[in-house]
Amino acid sequence: MKNQEQSVSNNEYENEKVPQSALKKWTHFLGMYAGEHAAGTEFVIGPLFLTTGVSAFDLLMGLLIGNLLAVLSWRLLTAEIAVRYRFTLYHHLEKITGNQMVKGYNLANGVLFCFLAGAMITVSATAVGVPFNMEMPQLTDTLPNGITWVIVVLILGLLFSFIAAKGFGTVSKAANFMAPLIILAFVACGFVALIQLEVGSFSDFWNIWGEGSTPFPGQLKYTFWHVCFWSWFANAAMHIGMSDLSVFRYAEKASSGWTTAVGMYIGHYIAWIAAALLYAVYIQSPEAQAYLSNGTAPPVAPGPLAYNAIGVFGIIAVILAGWTTANPTIYRAGLAFQTLFPKRSTFWVTMFAGGVATVAGLFPAFAMKLLDFVALYGFILAPIGAVIVFQHFFANRMNIPDYLNAPYKRTFNWSVLLAWGLSVLLFYGFSVQNDIFLSFLTLPTWICCGLIYLVFSKYLFKS
């Protein structure tokens, strides 16, 4: 009986509906989203917002509204569809696209998630390197800067990958355990930074950003709209891109989607601002001023920033923060690669995904250019989620076959490929040609992809 229970607990239900016995209460998702989004990225994103010269109003109100839109996207779209069908994103797509085309998407999806997880390994490595006086990566660094960096990243990558490979239950438990410590660390860092900045009133706090300033060398100037749309679509691949179907398929009710608010407002609001305060303290240091006087941006190294505020606890918090983001991201990547190697065990496929993420973590560019990378990967992956959403809500109205319940009979669905490819290429080219902020075009690209899919499915490429 014990072996049977263990077998069931290790089953990730990659190609089948999650059974009633495996469903999780909303508290599982509360800890997971709190841990994942009050995490390693926040130690980088908060300071990077400061480098864009954003004003206080634009930052605070932009984050407030953008994160609300993200929560609504998770609750009303992702969680709703996940609970209705209880399949992974990849199984949904295989039903709609055919088993050949989905492999190309899953490869792209898995690789991009590995790069994101790699950035989180980079973040944790900056903390581990503090006791060894390791040279920290600069904002402009691309390649590893020494053997110590390589060793630290490899060790962390192996550890993170192993936890992710143990499956959703282990990932969820790890997040629930670590989330309170990480949140406490962010709050502590914020308060210490306020003291170091001699903030005695809300007016003093407001004046840290004030009316905005000239962005640091090599950085784009952010307005309210940049902050709002970027924060909405920072996790576009997960919500409107439907990647978190793989997570919420375990939810007892769609209302579990509201738990993402904990991640958004503790992680993507309080934690981003707290991390920005740490960087504001560092900017006043002689070292940072020397960088600025030479026309270069001071480095964003989460480990030293947190250590300078709350000591050893800061180092531990940054390591755990990178861990809780990398874990579910490697888990998602493993599920994507699983469709390419269906006969391999989920454990070893996830370990492979972790290996790719670890290699990516050796290159600091993924973390140092995180604002740009997150915008790009969401822009590329989100539109494919529109295919599932439009199929679910509009296919019957347009008299298109219900592929979510009766899978596409051929191996390759041209309607999906052309809808995805045309929408991404059209709007990316428009962004480059007119120098438009990419996050502004994520929603139009998503809608365009869904509409093209419906039209092509009805009139050009019928099953």
Per-residue pLDDT, averaged over 239-248, amounts to 90
| φ/ψ (deg, to 5) at 251 | -75, 140
Q: What is the DSSP string of 408-424?
A: -SSS--HHHHHHHHHHH
- Confidence at residue 22, expressed as pLDDT on a 0 to 100 scale: 80
C-alpha to C-alpha distance for 330 and 110, rounded to whole angstroms = 8
CA–chain centroid gap for 128, Å, is: 22
* Amino acid 5: pLDDT: 34
CB 34 within 8 A of CB 325: no
Contact indicator for 407, 94 with CB cutoff of 8 Å: yes
Mean pLDDT of the chain: 83
Distance CA 267, CA 261 (A): 9
Q: What is the pLDDT of residues 387-444, one digit of tens each?
A: 999 988 988 888 888 777 777 777 778 888 899 999 999 999 999 999 899 999 999 9
* The pLDDT of residue 323 is above 80: no
262 contacts: CB under 8 Å, gap ≥ 6: 30, 33, 34, 37
Q: What is the mean pLDDT of residues 315-344?
A: 78
Residue 45, token pair as written in the block: 């994103």
* pLDDT for residue 291: 79
CA 81 remoteness from chain centre: 20
Q: How far apart are CA 211 and CA 231, in angstroms?
A: 20
pLDDT at 61 over 90: yes
Distance CA 219, CA 308 (A): 25
Q: For helices 224-233 and 370-394, give the axis angle rounded to 10 degrees.
A: 60
pLDDT of residue 99: 74
More confident residue, 4 or 251: 251
pLDDT > 70: percent of the chain:
92
Question: Which of 178 and 435 is assigned the larger pLDDT?
Answer: 435
Q: Which amino acid type is present at position 357? A: A
Helix (H) or strand (E) holding 263: none
> What is the predicted pLDDT for the residue at 419?
93
Alpha-helix residue ranges (DSSP H) falling in 166-301: 168-196, 202-206, 224-233, 245-248, 260-262, 272-283, 286-293
Residue 86: CB atoms within 10 Å: 21
At 326, list the tokens.
Answer: 């990398």
pLDDT on residue 4: 34
Whether the pTM exceeds 0.85: the reply is no
Query: In this structure, what DSSP letter does residue 247 have?
Result: H
If pLDDT is split at 50, 70 and 90, which confidence band does 373 have?
confident
pLDDT at 460 over 70: yes
Of residues 28, 38, 30, the one with CA closest to residue 266: 38
How high is the pLDDT of residue 8? 37
Highest mean pLDDT among 198-207, 290-299, 443-452: 443-452
Question: Are 117 and 360 contacting, i.e. CB atoms less than 8 angstroms apart?
Answer: yes
**pLDDT of amino acid 175:** 60
Q: Count CA within 13 A, CB hemisphere, residue 177.
A: 8
- Give the orientation angle of helix 272-283 with respect to helix 286-293, to 10 degrees: 80
Residue 15 has pLDDT above 70, yes or no: no
The whole-angstrom separation of Cα 309 and Cα 318 is: 12
pLDDT band at 170 (very low <50, low <70, confident <90, very high): low
C-alpha radius of gyration, the chain, whole number: 22
pLDDT, average across residues 137-158: 79
Domains of the chain: 21-384 (1.10.4160.10)
Q: Can you tell me the mean pLDDT for 343-359?
A: 84
Overall size of the chain counted in residues: 463
Lowest pLDDT segment from 27-36, 128-137, 293-302, 385-394? 128-137
Greater model confidence, 268 or 128: 268
Task: Tell the residue number behind the tokens 């996207």, with chain if given.
Answer: 73
Mean per-residue pLDDT, 14-38: 79
Is the confidence at residue 359, as pLDDT, over 50?
yes
How far is it, in rounded angstroms, from Cα 103 to Cα 370? 27
**Comparing 42-46, 344-348, 358-362, 364-368, which segment has the lowest mean pLDDT?**
364-368
Mean pLDDT to the nearest integer, 325-337: 78
Q: Identify the weakest region by mean pLDDT among 99-113, 183-197, 378-392.
A: 99-113
